[in-house]
Amino acid sequence: MFKPKIESSFFAENRRKLASLLKPDSIAVVNSNDIMPTNADGTMRYVPNSDMFYLTGIHQEETVLLLAPSEKDEEHKEILFIRDYNPDLEVWEGKKLSPDDAGKISGIKTVLELSKFQKVLHDSLSKSENVYLNSNEHDRAELVVESREMRFIRYCMREYPLHTYCRLAPLIYSLRVIKTPVEAELLQSACDLTADGFRRLLGFVKPKVTEFEIEAELAHEFIRKGSGFADYEPIIASGENSCFLHYVKNDAVCLDGDILLLDFAAGYSNYNADMTRTIPVNGRFSKRQKQIYNSVLRAMKGTIKEMKPGNSVKDLQLVTRELIAKELVDLKLVKPADVKDIKNKSDYFKKYYPHDVSHFLGLAVHDVGYFEEPMKAGMVLTCEPGIYIREEKLGVRIENDILITKKGNRDLMENVPIEAEEIEELMNK
Ligand code: GLY
Ligand code: MN
Ligand code: MN
């Protein structure tokens, strides 16, 4: 999703901030993602590297950014390398970025073809002591496939073993975790698109629709606006499927009386929303469904109150666990003793509330950031408590996206219907 335009000054400012964090006598290199293969000669749709996008706005494979802030010559402080012009490739894939295009998008004055990279790198390395290289350091990343970044790290360390190597990721993450007003607006747009999708579904869902028909409605809503789904598979989970946290088969028929858990969102210019709503397939919550729904909603509202500067995500997790524990006791699903150890969830607790409440959001759906650190203004996080009762085929999760502000927070999804009665009303209009 690259259609909405972000001014090049945004990317230039990100590079300036990053350069200011490097030690003297340093260069930094960032690589784009590979196009991932599937079977035979098939490939996946291209997913840009979030760090590359954040620093350049470039959405094209085989791109390399070289930052050399200690260079005296202004033209050599930032160099962007893009794919060499290839007329044969153009016949198949259409136009790739020209150096001029890439310069306009990124605000970088020196854009060269990738075939020049090794020579320029060699020249830069001959003048610098430290080399900052980038890698995916997300704590939950499972790195089973070697990335272009990793190949480059191996190459660089093999060819230039006497330099001092440093980690670039923590520096970029420290910037990415705080969203600028421009980014907050992009996230708001992603949330607004998501809201449009949800409102459309409220007039569409009824008994006997299949989960994939619901997914198709959303795809139509997002794609016709030049966007698409956020960077995760939509979860359209009716009945018992609502209890499977990452259910993505989306192929069951929604039945009269079933609950329907919808965890889907739109992306906007590579920024992701992440929303969950839980609705009754037939347009009216049963008494039991509404009871559980309101328990989760209370836990959500109680948690959002604590989303403010100073508290960490870890603190928040404990807040939600306390709230959910109280609800589970009131619902007589557990005894007080079963849920008294909030830090270490008992099996009982985990059975009904197996996940935790929040993650950072941005260019990645589970964005970069550290759960132990106090929240700060500009961070965007989800709030997503849930209660899942497998024996009743009843899972409820509700999820909104929250911008931390100096005084507390702003709910980027405050206009998305959330009260049970409002949802019922809209479904029966
Ligand atoms: N949609 C994934 C999540 O809620 O974390
Ligand atoms: Mn989430
Ligand atoms: Mn979600």
pLDDT at 4: 55
The CATH architecture that domain 8-176 belongs to is: 3-Layer(aba) Sandwich (3.40)
DSSP-assigned letter for residue 403:
E
What are the residues whose beta carbons fall under 8 Å from the beta carbon of 215, sequence distance 6 or more? 234, 236, 250, 264
Contact criterion met (CB below 8 Å) for 64 and 114: yes
Q: What is the pLDDT of residues 127-177, one digit of tens each?
A: 999 999 999 999 899 889 999 999 999 999 999 999 999 999 999 999 999
The residue assigned the tokens 């990415």 is 176
Mutate to test the pocket of ligand 1, among 399, 400, 401, 413 (most ligand atoms within 8 A of CB): 399
The ligand minimizing its distance to the Cα of 361 is 2
pLDDT at 240: 98
Q: Is 231 in the pocket of ligand 1 (CB under 6 A)?
A: no
Cα-based torsion angle of the residue sequence 402, 7, 65, 137 in order, rounded to the nearest 10 degrees: 0
* Mean pLDDT score across all residues of the chain: 96
42 has a pLDDT exceeding 90: yes
Tell which atom from ligand 1 comes closest to the C-alpha of 366. Answer: 5
Residues by chain with Cβ below 5 Å of ion ligand 3: 263, 274, 276, 399
Q: Which CATH class is domain 181-427?
A: alpha beta
pLDDT at 178: 98
Higher per-residue pLDDT: 294 or 346: 294
The ligand minimizing its distance to the Cα of 401 is 2
3-state secondary structure (DSSP) of residue 147: coil
pLDDT at 263: 98
DSSP characters over 4-72: S---HHHHHHHHHHHHHHSPSSEEEEEEPPPPPB-STT-BPPP---HHHHHHH----SS-EEEE-TT-S
Ligand 3: centre distance to CA 35 (Å): 25
pLDDT at 13: 98
Q: Is 258 in the pocket of ligand 1 (CB under 6 A)?
A: no
Mean pLDDT of 379-405: 98
Mutate to test the pocket of ligand 1, among 355, 384, 398, 402 (most ligand atoms within 8 A of CB): 384
* C-alpha to C-alpha distance for 8 and 98, rounded to whole angstroms: 16
Q: Is 61 in the pocket of ligand 1 (CB under 6 A)?
A: no
Q: Is 384 in the pocket of ligand 1 (CB under 6 A)?
A: yes
* C-alpha to C-alpha distance for 179 and 163, rounded to whole angstroms: 33
Phi then psi for residue 59, to 5 deg, are: -120, 35
Of the chain, the percentage scoring pLDDT greater than 70 comes to 99
Mutate to test the pocket of ligand 1, among 233, 261, 275, 359 (most ligand atoms within 8 A of CB): 359
Mean pLDDT of 372-387: 98
Mean pLDDT of 408-418: 98
Q: Distance between the two ends of the chain, CA-based, in angstroms? A: 33
Q: In 253-330, which residue ranges form alpha helices assigned H by DSSP?
A: 287-305, 313-330
Tell which atom from ligand 1 comes closest to the C-alpha of 265. Answer: 1
Helix then strand count (H, E) for the chain reads 13, 17
Mean pLDDT of 244-254: 98
Mean pLDDT of 54-72: 97
Where are the chain's structural domains?
8-176, 181-427
Residue 161, CA atoms < 13 Å, CB-side half-sphere: 1
Beta bridge partners of 410: 403
| E strand or H helix at 266 | strand 266-268
Q: Is 367 in the pocket of ligand 1 (CB under 6 A)?
A: no
pTM over 0.85: yes
344 has a pLDDT exceeding 50: yes
What are the residues whose beta carbons fall under 8 Å from the beta carbon of 161, sequence distance 6 or more? none
Nearest CA to ligand 1 atom 4: 274
Strands 110-113 and 78-82: parallel
Ligand 2: centre distance to CA 399 (Å): 7
266 has a pLDDT exceeding 50: yes
Q: What is the pLDDT of residues 208-227, one digit of tens each?
A: 999 999 999 999 999 999 99
70 has a pLDDT exceeding 80: yes
Q: What is the pLDDT of residues 173-196, one digit of tens each?
A: 999 999 999 999 999 999 999 999
DSSP characters over 270-292: TEE--EEEEEETTSS--HHHHHH
Residue 266 corresponds to which tokens in the numbers above? 């739109």
Strands 228-229 and 266-268: antiparallel
Ligand 3: centre distance to CA 218 (Å): 15
pLDDT at 426: 98
Nearest CA to ligand 1 atom 5: 366
pLDDT at 5: 80
Contact criterion met (CB below 8 Å) for 424 and 284: yes
* C-alpha to C-alpha distance for 261 and 278, rounded to whole angstroms: 4
1 has a pLDDT exceeding 90: no
Tell which atom from ligand 1 comes closest to the C-alpha of 264. Answer: 1
Q: Is 355 in the pocket of ligand 1 (CB under 6 A)?
A: no
